[in-house]
Amino acid sequence: MHLTVLDAPTEWSRFTEGSIERRMLLALGERLGTPIRPKPLMLPDGNRVEVEGIDTAGRVLVQLVCNQGAYKPAYRNKVMADMFKLLWLRDSVPTAERAVLLVTELIVQALGGWVALAAADLGIEIYVFDGSKVAALRRRT
C-alpha cells in the first residue's frame, strides 16, 4: 500500500507555539539538518493518518512520545504502538528511508529490556529530547 504525503492546513498542524511537540521537532530538525513538520498522509481508500514529523523530502518519518510528569507503565505501550506505526509508514511512504522515534527523558524508562534492542534491529532510530536538544539514545550494555 502506498500513502501520499499531503500538505498540512498549517505548518505546525495541532502543535501550538511553545508546545513540547513543536520544540521536539525543531530540536530534531536541527540535529538532522532538515526541517521536520507534522503532515497528513492519504491512504488509497481516502482515509487519512497523520505522521507527527516528516522532512520536506519525505525521507525521515518521526513519531513523538512526550509524556511528562510521573512515569506510567502504559507509556511502554505507546512506545511500542508508535514503533509499529513507524514500521508501517516507512514501508508505505514511497520516499521514506528512516524511521525515528523521539522521546522525552521520562520515556527512556519504557525502552528497557528488549524494546530498545528490537527498535535497533528493526532500523528504528531513537532520540531523546532533554528539554532543549536531542541526542541519540545511549545503548545499555
Question: Which residue is it, cell 512506545?
Answer: 79
- pLDDT value, residue 138: 87
Q: Is the pLDDT of residue 49 over 60?
A: yes
- pLDDT value, residue 140: 60
pLDDT band at 37 (very low <50, low <70, confident <90, very high): very high
Cβ atoms of 89 and 3 within 8 Å: the answer is yes
Q: Is the dihedral of CA 39, 105, 128, 25 positive or negative?
A: positive
Of the candidates 57, 55, 51, the one whose C-alpha atom is nearest the C-alpha of residue 87 is: 51
Strand order in the sheet with 48-55: 4-5, 36-42, 48-55, 60-65, 98-104, 124-129, 134-136
pLDDT band at 9 (very low <50, low <70, confident <90, very high): confident
pLDDT band at 68 (very low <50, low <70, confident <90, very high): confident
Question: Which residue is it, cell 535497533?
Answer: 120
Cα separation values, 110 from 5, 6, 72, 84, Å: 30, 32, 9, 15
| Cβ-proximal residues to 18 (8 Å cutoff; 6+ apart), any chain | none
- pLDDT value, residue 1: 78
Tens of pLDDT, residues 76-93: 999 999 999 999 999 999
In the predicted model, what is the mean pLDDT of the chain? 94
pLDDT band at 135 (very low <50, low <70, confident <90, very high): very high
- Confidence (pTM): 0.94
- pLDDT value, residue 64: 98
Cβ atoms of 63 and 29 within 8 Å: the answer is no
Cα 113 vs. chain centroid, distance in angstroms? 20
- pLDDT value, residue 116: 94
Rounded to whole angstroms, the Cα distance separating 106 from 80 reads 15
Query: All 3 cell numbers of residue 80?
Result: 511500542
- pLDDT value, residue 106: 96
